[in-house]
Amino acid sequence: MEMWAERTSGQAEVIAVAGAELRTPVLGLEALLDSLSRGQLMSETTEQTVHSRILARQVMLLREDLSLMATPEALTPEVTMETLDLDQQLIESCSSFPDIAITVEGDERVYVYADALRVQQICANLLRSTQRLGVRPVGIRVKAQPEYVSIRLSDSGPPNGYEMAIVRRLVAMHGGTTIHEVGGSFMFTLPRAFEVPSYPAQGF
């Protein structure tokens, strides 16, 4: 038992180190892409730049998954809770998976109180699971309730697997719930934000 515990601890350390080492090249790639995008680029180069940015974002989220898996269940990873525009979060998530036909329906202009990075992780893992199974297309339905917001993904794949384990843990960190429904749909909830940020009027 003691040897098994030492081996598990060593594996967790390797995962954490590998994840940390991914951060520097990814940030460097993003900085390079930002510089290139400000120049006069041919359409082919622009397409490559967009694709590279998508890959960089996916790698960054995978790094966060590695870090989360290396964190013992008894510990709560750092979260930055803030009021988020759910529409914008879903747009960003869907843009990272251009090969999947995704339809977003339901309530609009809904705000949640959550960690933006963790929300991106939740969506990425669900969409990655769907992509791995070759499911097409995917429907996302948003429903606002007084205390929380439910997000339902159709055809999200089997209830087991590391992606679902990550999703359940991240949702639980927000005080939400997860339900794998009959038929393959997966629903999770996030706390609803009661205070919507106000922005200054344009043109003044």
Last residue of a domain, one of 46, 70, 94: 70
Taking the model in full, what pTM does it have? 0.77
Q: Based on the fold, state whether residues 108 and 185 are members of the same structural domain.
A: yes
**Which residues neighbour 162 within 8 Å (Cβ) at sequence distance 6 or greater?**
69
Q: Based on the fold, state whether residues 29 and 113 are members of the same structural domain.
A: no
Domain assignment of residue 62, given as a range: 2-70
Buried b (16+ CB within 10 A) or exposed e, 151-172: bbbbebbeeeeebbebbbbbbe
**pLDDT tens per residue across all 204 residues of the chain:** 444 444 455 456 546 655 665 666 677 667 666 766 666 555 556 666 677 777 788 888 888 888 888 888 888 888 899 999 999 999 999 998 888 889 999 999 999 999 999 999 999 989 988 877 776 788 999 999 999 999 999 866 666 677 888 899 999 999 999 998 877 789 999 999 986 665 544 443
Last residue of a domain, one of 70, 93, 119: 70
Number of domains in the chain: 2
Q: Based on the fold, state whether residues 88 and 64 are members of the same structural domain.
A: no
